[in-house]
C-alpha cells in the first residue's frame, strides 16, 4: 500500500512538473507574439512620422524655390535651411529606430520559421510512418477487419471503422500540406521583413548624403556673410544684440524659477526639495575635448574686427551627444537666429549653463535633468559654420569663462 501511494505521488509530481513546463513555454510564446505585434505597431507609427517629415520638407523646399526666399536676409535664409537640416536629421533618427525594430521583428520571424519547420518535420514523420505501415499491410489489414466480421451488423460496424482509419490517413496527409504551407508563409514573411530592413538601410545612407549637402549649403551661406565686411559687421551686431537679449531672458527665468520654488515651499508649509546641482560642472561633450575657440576677445579671421566670445566652442562630429553639465531645471529649449537650437539649464546657486548650435534638442522647458543626461545633439544651427557646441556658463547673471568651472 505504501509503495502504491509513493507511485501515485510520483506520478502526480511528474504531471505537475509537465504542467509547469508547458506553462512556461506558453508564457514565452505569448511574450514573443506580443513583442512582435508591438514591434510592427511601432514600425507603422514610425512610417507615419516619416511621411509627416517628408511633407514638411516638401513645404520648406517649395519655400526655398520661391522668389520671396531670394529676397530674404541671409540670417532668415539660414533659419529656413536650419529647419530643413533639422527635419532631415529627424528623418535619419526615425530610420535608425525603424531599423532597430526591424531587427527585433526579424528575430521573431526567424523563431516562427523554426517552429513552422519543426511542425512540418513532425507531420512528415507521421505521414511517412503511416505510408510505410500501409505499404507493409495496409490492404490486408482492411480485408482482415472486414472478413473477420461475424454478422451483418458487425460488418457495418467494421466498415465504419475502416472509414474512420481512411479519414485519419487523409487528415494526416492534409496536415502535412498545411504544415508545409505554413512554413512557406513564415519563410516568405521573414524574407519580406529582411528586404524592408535593407531598404531602410539604403534610405538612411541616401538621407545622410542629403544631410551633408544641406549642411555644406548652410555653411557656405555663413561664409558668404563673413567674407563681406559690411555684412559681417551687421551680422555681429545682430548676434551680440541677440546674445544680450538671451542673457536677460535667462536672468528673468532664473528669478521666476526661484520665486516659483519659494511659493511652493510656502504653500506646502514643509521643507521641499529644490533641484540643485553639485556646483562642479561636468564636460558637456563626452566624445570630444577639443576647444576650437576659447572664451574672451576673438579676432575675425580676415578683417580687423574683434568681438567678445561669450563661451567656448567644442568641436565634435555632427550628431554627437551633448550632456547636462550638472543637475538642474531646463529653463529654455528653443531656436533663435544666433544660437540656433539651444538649451539653458538652471543649476541653482546662481549658476546656469547654455548649449547652442544643436542639431536637435532632447529636453523641453521645465524638465528636470541629471548630471550627464543627454539634452541635445551636436550641430551647426544658427550663426555657425561646422559642427560644434557653443557652451556658456553664467554665475549670478554674468557670463564667465567655462574652463574655470569644468
CATH 2.70.70.10 for domain 228-404, yes or no, is yes
The owner of cell 543649476 is 347
pLDDT band, residue 351 (cuts 50/70/90): very high
90 and 46 Cβ atoms separated by less than 8 Å = no
43 and 98 Cβ atoms separated by less than 8 Å = yes
101: nearest Cα among 50, 164, 156, 171: 50
376 and 356 Cβ atoms separated by less than 8 Å = no
What is the model's pTM?
Answer: 0.69
C-alpha 136/C-alpha 331 separation (Å) is: 85
Pairing verdict, β 312-315 and 398-400:
unpaired
pLDDT single digits (tens) 219-245: 888 888 777 666 667 777 777 788 888
**pLDDT at 81 (0 to 100):** 92
C-alpha 247/C-alpha 250 separation (Å) is: 5
254 and 331 Cβ atoms separated by less than 8 Å = yes
pLDDT single digits (tens) 241-276: 888 888 889 989 988 888 888 887 777 655 545 678
84: nearest Cα among 193, 190, 216, 197: 216
Residue 24 CA neighbour count, 13 Å, CB half: 5
Residue ranges of E strands in 3-92? none
Domain locations in the chain as residue ranges: 2-224, 228-404
Question: Looking at 67-76, 136-145, 290-299, 334-343, which range is the least confident one?
Answer: 136-145
Report whether pLDDT(313) > 80: yes
254: nearest Cα among 347, 137, 141: 347
Residues 121-142, mean pLDDT to the nearest whole number: 66
Between 302 and 48, the higher pLDDT residue: 48
**pLDDT at 333 (0 to 100):** 96
**pLDDT at 29 (0 to 100):** 43
74: nearest Cα among 227, 176, 177: 227
Report whether pLDDT(300) > 80: no
Amino acid at each position: 500500500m505504501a509503495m502504491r501511494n509513493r507511485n501515485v505521488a510520483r506520478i502526480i509530481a511528474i504531471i505537475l512538473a509537465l504542467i509547469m513546463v508547458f506553462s512556461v513555454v506558453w508564457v514565452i510564446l505569448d511574450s514573443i507574439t506580443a513583442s512582435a505585434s508591438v514591434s510592427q505597431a511601432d514600425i507603422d507609427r514610425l512610417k507615419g512620422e516619416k511621411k509627416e517629415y517628408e511633407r514638411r520638407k516638401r513645404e520648406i523646399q517649395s519655400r526655398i524655390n520661391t522668389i520671396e526666399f531670394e529676397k530674404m536676409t541671409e540670417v532668415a535664409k539660414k533659419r529656413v535651411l536650419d529647419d530643413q537640416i533639422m527635419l532631415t536629421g529627424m528623418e535619419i533618427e526615425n530610420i535608425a529606430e525603424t531599423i532597430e525594430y526591424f531587427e527585433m521583428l526579424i528575430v521573431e520571424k526567424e523563431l516562427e520559421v523554426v517552429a513552422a519547420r519543426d511542425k512540418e518535420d513532425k507531420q512528415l514523420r507521421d505521414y511517412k510512418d503511416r505510408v510505410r505501415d500501409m505499404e507493409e499491410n495496409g490492404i490486408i489489414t482492411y480485408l482482415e477487419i472486414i472478413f473477420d466480421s461475424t454478422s451483418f451488423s458487425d460488418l457495418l460496424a467494421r466498415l465504419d471503422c475502416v472509414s474512420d482509419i481512411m479519414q485519419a490517413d487523409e487528415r494526416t496527409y492534409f496536415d502535412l500540406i498545411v504544415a508545409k504551407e505554413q512554413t512557406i508563409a513564415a519563410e516568405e514573411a521573414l524574407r519580406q521583413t529582411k528586404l524592408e530592413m535593407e531598404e531602410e538601410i539604403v534610405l538612411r545612407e541616401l538621407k545622410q548624403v542629403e544631410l551633408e549637402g544641406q549642411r555644406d549649403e548652410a555653411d557656405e551661406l555663413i561664409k558668404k556673410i563673413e567674407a563681406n565686411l559690411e555684412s559681417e559687421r551687421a551680422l555681429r551686431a545682430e548676434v551680440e544684440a541677440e546674445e544680450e537679449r538671451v542673457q536677460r531672458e535667462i536672468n528673468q527665468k532664473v528669478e521666476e524659477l526661484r520665486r516659483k520654488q519659494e511659493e511652493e515651499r510656502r504653500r506646502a508649509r514643509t521643507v521641499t526639495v529644490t533641484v540643485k546641482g553639485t556646483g562642479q560642472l561636468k564636460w558637456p561633450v563626452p566624445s570630444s575635448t577639443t576647444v576650437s575657440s576659447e572664451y574672451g576677445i576673438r579676432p575675425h579671421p580676415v578683417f580687423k574686427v574683434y568681438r567678445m566670445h561669450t563661451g567656448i566652442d567644442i568641436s565634435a562630429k555632427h550628431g554627437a551627444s551633448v550632456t547636462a553639465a550638472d543637475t538642474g531645471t531646463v529653463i529654455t529649449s528653443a531656436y533663435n537666429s544666433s544660437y540656433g537650437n539651444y538649451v539653458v539649464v538652471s543649476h541653482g546657486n546662481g549658476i546656469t549653463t547654455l548649449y547652442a548650435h544643436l542639431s536637435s534638442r532632447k529636453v523641453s522647458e521645465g524638465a528636470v535633468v541629471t548630471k550627464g543626461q543627454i539634452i541635445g545633439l551636436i550641430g551647426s544651427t544658427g550663426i555657425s559654420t561646422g559642427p560644434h557646441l557653443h557652451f556658456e556658463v553664467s554665475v549670478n547673471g554674468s557670463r564667465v569663462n567655462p574652463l574655470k568651472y569644468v
